[in-house]
Amino acid sequence: MNFQKSDIYKVEELHHPRANWLQPLVLLAPSGIWLLLLLVLPTLIIFQLSLVADIRPGDLVNPNGFKNYIRIFDPLYVQVIVRSLFFAFGTTIICLILGFPVAYWIAQIAPQRWRNLLLLAFVLPLWTSSLLRSYAWITILRPTGLLNSLLSNLGLPTLELLNQSQAVFIGMSYSLLPYMVLILYASLEKLDKRLLEAAADLGANPVETFWQVTVPQIFPGIAAASMLVFITGLGDFVDPELLGGASSMTAARLVYNQFLGATQNWGFGSALSMTLILLVSIAIALLIKFGETAPKR
């Protein structure tokens, strides 16, 4: 075949370093601009507001120090942040304990033709509003609700769950459990059964096989699912607000009060927001570092 000189120039342009640099830039430009306008710039604005003490709507922004961040270390606010971490971590543990058997059963035991249908049925609650799900739990857990009515009919003592930490755990676990199951299912579906058979042939009991063969294979999935539930639970506002009552104040609710509550303080609310962003960033960094660790063979 005969190539024209112009064709050779076109090939050289495609392999030119500048072309190789511009191609990914063009592809990433739409999403990059979107993230810049809706994530980076708002975060910078929040950080700027966090450096202004006692700023309210309409005040001039004049950054003057880290007083708002120092205020976070007040024992009252430290307790709120610790409670938020407690709810997020506890919900992660509950979802992992409840979600792993379900994901394992769907991925390894349930018939192949039913798996997609089972997953669809399990994530159906996500099709409804989180607000609606929380109100449904209020109907179930209130003193005259469905749960206590059932216990009374059975002659059992009633439970005071609404406006307690237990109700927050129930609501958050119910809301976030499908995420845990979906990610664990994706990992368990790829489980190498040959390694399980080899472990059994070598005399390993089921417990040893689980901890030394199954868990290392799906550890990236466990880490990803746990971090997703933890991060989402850390910023959950609806469940603690509706199910926990005044005794379950969390960082998300505290941020809301600083921006839209009666005592507005945008500077302190921004500092709390930046603190939550920092905690989430640490969680994501841990996920990137440990979540992609290859299982040991």
What is the length of the chain? 297
**Whole-number pLDDT of residue 168:** 92
Alpha-carbon gap, residue 208 to 212, rounded angstroms:
6
Amino acid of residue 262 = A
- CB atoms inside a 10 Å sphere around CB 25: 9
Q: Which structure tokens are listed for 196?
A: 């399980």
- CB atoms inside a 10 Å sphere around CB 282: 10
pLDDT (tens digit, 9 = 90+) per residue, 227-265? 889 989 988 888 998 998 877 888 888 888 888 877 778
For the entire predicted model, the pTM comes to 0.82
**Whole-number pLDDT of residue 185:** 92
Domains of the chain, residue spans: 75-292
CATH class of 75-292: mainly alpha
Rounded mean pLDDT, 4-10: 51
Q: Which of 119, 98, 86, 82 is nearest to 225 (CA)?
A: 98
Q: Which structure tokens are listed for 52?
A: 């202004």
**Whole-number pLDDT of residue 89:** 94
Indicate whether 6 pLDDT > 60: no
Q: Which of 75, 95, 98 is nearest to 87 (CA)?
A: 95
Average pLDDT of the chain to the nearest whole number: 83
pLDDT (tens digit, 9 = 90+) per residue, 148-189? 889 888 888 888 888 888 999 999 999 999 999 999 998 898
Amino acid of residue 270 = S
DSSP 36: I
Alpha-carbon gap, residue 105 to 33, rounded angstroms:
43
Indicate whether 293 pLDDT > 70: no
pLDDT (tens digit, 9 = 90+) per residue, 186-237? 889 888 888 888 888 888 888 888 888 888 888 888 988 998 899 899 888 8
